[in-house]
Each structure stands twice: as C-alpha cells, then as structure tokens.
A = this chain, B = another copy of it.
Amino acid sequence: MCDTSGWAATSTRHARAGLSRLIEPGDLLGPLTVEVLGAEQTLELIASGTGPTPQEQQRVGEAAEASGLTARQRRLPAALQRWRTRLPQIRDTQMLRSLYRCGGGLLIPEDAAWPRQLNDLGPAQPLALWFRVAAGDSDPYSLAPARLPQAGRSVAVVGSREMTDYGGKVAWETARELAAHGVSIISGGAYGIDAAAHRGSLDGAQEDGWPALAVLAGGVDRFYPAGNDRLLHAILDRGIILSEMPPGSAPTRHRFLQRNRLIAALAAGTVVVEARWRSGALSTAHHAMDIGRPVGAVPGSVYSASSAGCHRLLRHTPAQLITDAADIMELVAADGADPGWPPGLRPAASAAVTGDAESRSATDGLGEVDRRIFEALPVRSTTTPSRLSEAAGLPMPQVLGGLTRLERKRLVHRTGGRWGRTGHQLGRT
C-alpha cells in the first residue's frame, strides 16, 4: 500500500481524511469496515447512499464478530446511516492542502511512519492521525517521521488540570529528566499537570531530541485550551502535535476520553502525577492497563484531594508507585525488552528491601557475636571483660576474641584492663 518512499497512495490518504471526518472515535465498526473493504471503497459506499452488498455485509459482520463487537455494534446499514450524516462536511483535498500550508498533514496506517504501537488498540485503533510539526516552509511530511514516538522511547505523563505546586514540580522535574535521557514525553496539552510535563520535557531536551508530543481531543488547527497556545507552539518546534479528529473539530468530552486511549497506546508506559478521585487521567491509566502497558502513579499527601486518584490507582490496580524519573525508567524498562530503550538512570536491578532494613551504623557487617559484644559495651564509659561477658551473655573466650576483632576494626579501644567504644556510636533503630 505504500510506495518506495514509505508513504501511502494519495487516494488512500484522501479517503482516510474523509473517513476521519465521518466516523466518530469509538465507533468501532468504522475502522473494521475500512480494514475489510479498504479506505477508498468504504468512503465510496458511504457517499453512494446505497446499502452494502450482502457480501460486504457478511465480510464486515464476520470481522466485527471476531473482534468482539456486540450484535448492535455490528449493524453495517445503521452505521452507514450514521456516517452519512456528516457527508456535507467533507472537503478532504482542501483540508489536507490548507493544513499542509500551516505545517501539518495526515498520517495513515498504510504509511511506513505509522506508529505501530497503536495496533495494540485492536478494533479501537484510529482511522488516521492528523499532525502538525512546524509553522515554517518545511515539508511537514519530511519532518514528521523522526518526531513520532518510538515504541519504547516515550512515556505518557498525565494528570489533573487542578494541580498543586507539588504536582507541578514533580511533573516538570521528572519530564525534564526523562527528556534529558532522550525519552519523549506524551501528554494531552491541557492546563495543570499536562502543561507542566510538556514544559519539563522542552526544558530538559537533548539538542537533537524530539522530547514533546501532545495529543489533542480537537483538531490540530486550533489549539485548545487557548491559554496553552504558546506552549503548544513551542511543541511544534521540538516535537509533534497529533489528533485523530480532523481540522476544525471541537474537543468534546467524548473526544477527550477517546483521545486518552491514544496517549496510552503511543507511550511505553503511563504515569499519573496528580489526579482527583474521579479524573480523566485515570481513564488514560486504565486504557494503558487494558492494552497491557505499565502504569505508574506518584504518591502525595493523604490530605491532598489532587493525590486521591493516584492513591486509588495504587490501592486498587497494579499501578506502580513512582517517586522520580529513575522509577519511571524502571517501570517501562521492566515491561519490554525494547533494545532502543536508553540505559536507566540508576542500576535497573533496584535495591531490594531486605528483611533486616536498619540504620547504617558502626556495627553493620559485624557477626552476631561481635555485635552483641559491641552493644554490651557502655556508651560513655569502659568495662572489664568479665562484666562484659555477663552483660553480653557470652563466655569469656568469645568475649576476648570478639574484642580483639573489634579493636582491629577500631570500633573499641582498651585502657589498661578496661574496654570502651571508640567515639560515640549509640545506635538505635
């Protein structure tokens, strides 16, 4: 379906452009019909105004059944009626041309550059991805491929619009550190945590990196929310802005929730920095879990409403607790053996919490006997070996042997026939 340049045929691109206008995200029969009949033929069928042939209906019905769609979702004639309602809106070639002029274009599954990780969405995969990469004269199609998220080198950092200073700091710092290690940060371009994560990724970016990726719920031609206009323009310089909705589309609540599945599927893992008890960020996390991607959540004060959703995830789902960028690297690295994943910020094999976790002290590494002798020694005075034998509950030969070993380690000192600790090392745990 794509020529040697890696790009699909123009007719296919135009057909998918039109279809992305007609078929609402989440309308699962749409992508299935396109998969079975092809983009051009599906568009023709919709535009023709006629019903599907029995053959067409059967082929689509079988594929839909195999994908687990309900009997109602599988009804092609009803779907065609739905999709026809927006036919008056189709101005595909013009739409593509005017978007091209402002640095954008359309990616479709038939393109070599299509992010294959979206396949994990199964029947919920998008029909196409509208993108914007620049405002200048450059050819957006030559810029886009390098800026798309690599399957294993991108992380979604998401959260509530109502963030605290704490959440903003965590989002900014972790995104910055990840970007500095060549990881792209994917978020939703919203106020609050999303914006902090985008900003962090831009601030931490490597010279030649493409750190920032925003997935919008509405069209890429008008940035939403307006207050993030400057931020989203900055992303055009150092990343890419995506949407499955065609230019001119308004962001509706339904589309925000659908958009979240794209964020989850594009990233190697999703981290929720702050979320209220009910928050759209949780839906992104659940989309990620549904397709088997690792999810992390940042803890916070139990008194902060902005952390309640994160705590909820940590209590009731397999979400992993995240305290810093290194934890995120571990989260996504543990998941797959992606060869392209950059080396971790700290050794991947994290220090296990051992059974005898305790304060580091002078007696760390001592044997049982030597430790008992050391601890039986008075802290600020000295004692005789026989008193020490009684205090430690150990026979004299063991006490004398232990004192010699401890003296060699400079933990104890002898004054005449009496022994004491070296310095003050009262340890308590």
A279 contacts B390, C-beta separation under 8 Å:
no
Question: Inside 8 A of A24's CB, which chain B residues have their CB?
Answer: 372, 393
B283 contacts A390, C-beta separation under 8 Å:
no
Please tell me which stretch of A50-58, A139-147, A313-321, A414-422 contacts chain B, meaning at least 4 of its Cβ atoms lie within 8 angstroms of it. Answer: A313-321
Any chain B CB within 8 A of the CB of A100? no
Any chain B CB within 8 A of the CB of A401? no
Q: Tell me the A295-313 residues at the B interface (CB within 8 Å).
A: 298-303, 307-309, 311-313
Question: Inside 8 A of A307's CB, which chain B residues have their CB?
Answer: 299
B311 contacts A315, C-beta separation under 8 Å:
no
Any chain B CB within 8 A of the CB of A99? no
B252 contacts A355, C-beta separation under 8 Å:
no
B302 contacts A301, C-beta separation under 8 Å:
no
Known: A81-B395, A253-B371, A299-B302. 15 other contacts (CB 8 A): A22-B393, A24-B372, A24-B393, A86-B390, A252-B376, A280-B428, A282-B353, A286-B355, A299-B314, A300-B300, A300-B301, A311-B321, A314-B321, A315-B327, A317-B353
Any chain B CB within 8 A of the CB of A404? no
Query: In the docked arrangement, what's the CA distance between A314 and B312, Å?
Result: 13
Looking at the complex, which one of B84, B301, B358, B390 makes contact with A85 (CB distance below 8 Å)?
Answer: B390
B350 contacts A323, C-beta separation under 8 Å:
no
- Closest chain B residue to A397 by CB distance? B81
Any chain B CB within 8 A of the CB of A151? no
Any chain B CB within 8 A of the CB of A251? yes
Query: In the docked arrangement, what's the CA distance between A256 and B290, Å?
Result: 46
B372 contacts A254, C-beta separation under 8 Å:
yes
B311 contacts A302, C-beta separation under 8 Å:
no
Question: Inside 8 A of A68's CB, which chain B residues have their CB?
Answer: none
Query: In the docked arrangement, what's the CA distance between A303 and B22, Å?
Result: 48
Question: Inside 8 A of A337's CB, which chain B residues have their CB?
Answer: none
Any chain B CB within 8 A of the CB of A82? yes
Any chain B CB within 8 A of the CB of A117? no
Q: Give 4 nearest A-B pairs by CB, closest first.
A: A280-B429, A299-B299, A282-B357, A252-B375
CB A342 to nearest CB in B, in angstroms, measures 21
- Of the listed residues A83, A314, A324, the one surrounded by the most CB atoms of chain B closer than 10 A to its CB is A314
Any chain B CB within 8 A of the CB of A361? yes
A321 contacts B299, C-beta separation under 8 Å:
yes
A253 contacts B393, C-beta separation under 8 Å:
no
Q: Tell me the A312-351 residues at the B interface (CB within 8 Å).
A: 312-317, 320-324, 327, 350
A429 contacts B390, C-beta separation under 8 Å:
no
Any chain B CB within 8 A of the CB of A257? yes
Looking at the complex, which one of B82, B376, B427, B428 makes contact with A395 (CB distance below 8 Å)?
Answer: B82
B257 contacts A358, C-beta separation under 8 Å:
yes
Any chain B CB within 8 A of the CB of A392? yes
Any chain B CB within 8 A of the CB of A88? yes
Contact with B along A141-185 (1 / 0, CB 8 A): 000000000000000000000000010011000000000000000
Question: Inside 8 A of A353's CB, which chain B residues have their CB?
Answer: 282, 286, 312-313, 316-317
